[in-house]
Copies of this chain bind each other. A is one copy, B any other.
Amino acid sequence: MKKTRNTQKQDFVIDILTNAKHTMSVEAILKAMPIKVNKTTVYRILERFAEKGKVHFVTGEDGKAYYALCNDCNIKHEMHNHIHFQCKSCKKVTCLPYEIDVPELKNFEIQETQFLMIGICDMCIS
């Protein structure tokens, strides 16, 4: 296992994701940063956290990656079988408390799952 260091910027990313009510794009995380941080830094912080299982991400319909803290992942081979919802109005991607039963696929090795539903969220539907 590679050695790691604790840095203020990593802590800020964790703080931001902890307080987030929905998954966040890198752009959104950058804007939420209380200090100036380079985008490459945020990409690499998230990359490291994803490897460690601290965060997970979904790819939105828009092709952008959206990150969220992992609440109950095991460190390795974590599966994220809950559903994400992307709102076409406010663009936010939310983790929903629904689990999907993943079918067993013979001769396929499943490493990750991304279940995304797209439409209008409860906040925007009014």
Contact = CB atoms under 8 A, between A and B. Distances in A.
Interface in A50-86: 59-65, 83, 85
A45 interface: no
Interface stretch (A3-11, A16-24, A31-39, A96-104): A96-104
B119 A112 contact: yes
Contact of A115 (B63, B100, B110): B100
Copies assembled: 2
Given A60-B59, A64-B63, A103-B98, A125 B112 contact: no
Contacts of A40: none
Nearest to A94: B108
Contact of A112 (B83, B111, B118): B118
A113 interface: yes
Contacts of A117: 102, 105, 108, 110, 112-114
B114 A105 contact: no
Contacts of A13: none
Given A59-B62, A85-B105, A105-B117, 12 more contacts: A61-B114, A63-B63, A83-B103, A98-B103, A102-B117, A105-B122, A107-B125, A108-B117, A109-B125, A110-B118, A111-B118, A114-B115
